[in-house]
Amino acid sequence: MRARLLPISMVLLSLAACNMAPDSPPPLITVPAEYKEAGPWQEAHPGDTLPRGPWWHSFGDPTLDHLESELGAASPSLGAAVARYDEARADAAEAESGLYPQLNIGGDLSANRQSAGRPLRVGGPNEYGANQLDAEAGYEIDLWGKLRNEAAAGRDLAQAGAADLAGMRLSLEAELATDYLTLRGLDADAQLLDGTVAAYQKALDLTQSRLQGAIASGMDVSRAETQLDTARAQVSDIAGRRALIEHAIATLVGEPAPSFSISPGTQAMNLPEVPNGLPSILLQRRPDIAAAERRIAAANAEIGVAKAAYYPSVSLAAEGGFQSTGFNLLSLPFSFWSLGPSVSLPVLNGGRLDAEESNAYAKFREMSESYRSTVLGAFQEVEDNLALLHWLGRQSVDEGAGVGAAQRTLDIAMNLYREGADSYLEVVTAQTALLQLQQTSIDLRSRRLEADVGLIRALGGGWDVTSLPSDAQSTELAKNTTGEAASGMEMRSGGRVVPKPAV
């Protein structure tokens, strides 16, 4: 018997090493040697200096640091992303369980009465007990890699869920930072308008005193009043816009808008220099690219599952226990057992298996194109923000020179008006030009800060593919709390980057 079983076992073991999934890596993307919009003025930086961890610290604002820490603990959007990741991990654990033997233990107690007129009844009591205690064991031999590919697809999707979670966290962090920078830009606008209102009030007082002295006309006074009222209206507009941004920040950090507030502030914020590294590094640093690549691997494994369905399925099953009409179950004469393999081979299925295989190949092509789209979009986002930083920097220099010139023009116009050598219209024109240039200068600084945030987000923040959970960690059951799952995800490392080759 052993001599017969040995070759059969060797055949089964060799078949169990088969894998029907094709060796299909992600599509090749032509990676540029350098970023076009970086400009010749930018210094070269080694890739290991890219932002890591809490990248918002580079702006040097304690309030922003505090808000970002609140985001990770209380954001409902991030909590939902953590829950989706937990679902993916649970699905992976469920798929992994198919690789192992299954064992079920059960019991059955019943009292029965059969009809005296039961068809084909042959003797026996009218009333009897039927009690049973049994155990069932089963194991499917994975000859064609079906179960292994199902488990691999589950692990890949769990890793994609981890990358999705990191991408959601990065997006929310960037959105919060952008909103905060916008709010501080509005605070700077408000401070500018407060000073402008005070200056316009002094100009109005001057025109009124000149009117009383019959030096100026009523038109000068009305023009000064118009300037003052317009500036005051802008103060109200800024206050309204600031309130909306403050409410948006409250929602991001999980706080009710009515009980949340940020004190106005105009402290200077750093303009961090973000080294962009090499374009090839971007493929390792973007969580959305990692998620897209993991979904390609999962779709590739699903092709193996679909192809394995054409071949026989072999399972081993065993059942045993005790049956009795009474309660003396644990007695050898009342025992029973059954042991043997089962084989299932699809013969006629109306084209269902062909459709499932075609669907798997189509899903793989879809994921491949989605990967290409994600990579191309990532390069565009980096180039967009590099271009913004480059040209906004140039524009800020020119705008700063314009502010200085406008201030000198206003000073000259005001002096000429005091001396009666010019009309107040020249003063109004100079005031309007100066205010517009000052507001544009503040807006440019805010946009440069926001472009820095956009560039950091486009480069993946402090994330890279080593933050993906390993295969083993991807199949752990979901944590009981979202906070535990979120913190655990950040500590994991050693994830795969490309699909493993088929055996």
Quick one: pLDDT at residue 500? 31
The angle, 0 to 180 degrees and rounded to 10, between the axes of the packed helices 62-74 and 76-97 is 40
Quick one: pLDDT at residue 253? 87
Quick one: pLDDT at residue 493? 29
- What the block records as the tokens of 128 is 């009897």
DSSP annotation of 27: P
**What b/e readout covers 122-136, taking b as 16+ CB neighbours within 10 angstroms?**
eeeeeeeeebbbbee
pLDDT in tens, 178-196: 999 999 999 999 999 999 9
**375 class by beta-carbon count within 10 Å (0-12 exposed, 13-18 middle, 19+ buried):** buried
32 in any annotated domain? yes
Q: What is the CATH number of the domain that holds 363?
A: 1.20.1600.10
Please report the beta strands in 43-169, taking only residues with DSSP state E, as ranges in sequence order: 102-113, 127-141
**What b/e readout covers 152-187, taking b as 16+ CB neighbours within 10 angstroms?**
bbbbbbbbbbbbbbbbbbbbbbbbbbbbbbbbbbbb
Quick one: pLDDT at residue 40? 47
Other CB atoms within 10 A of residue 102 CB: 13
- What the block records as the tokens of 346 is 């699809």
80 in any annotated domain? yes
Quick one: pLDDT at residue 70? 84
Q: What angle do CA 34, 463, 177 make, to 5 degrees?
A: 95
Please report the beta strands in 247-378, taking only residues with DSSP state E, as ranges in sequence order: 313-324, 335-344
- Three-state DSSP state, 341: strand
Q: How many domains does the chain have?
A: 1
473 in any annotated domain? yes
Quick one: pLDDT at residue 223? 86
497 in any annotated domain? no
> What residue numbers bound the domain in which 44 lies?
27-101+131-324+333-481
Quick one: pLDDT at residue 180? 94
114 in any annotated domain? no
338 in any annotated domain? yes
**263 class by beta-carbon count within 10 Å (0-12 exposed, 13-18 middle, 19+ buried):** exposed
Quick one: pLDDT at residue 482? 38
Q: Please list the rounded mean pLDDT of every run of 10 residues in the chain (503 residues).
A: 50 59 78 72 41 77 90 78 87 88 92 82 81 92 90 91 90 92 93 90 83 74 89 93 94 89 86 76 88 93 92 92 82 85 90 93 94 92 90 88 92 86 84 90 91 90 81 57 38 31 29
pTM score above 0.85: no
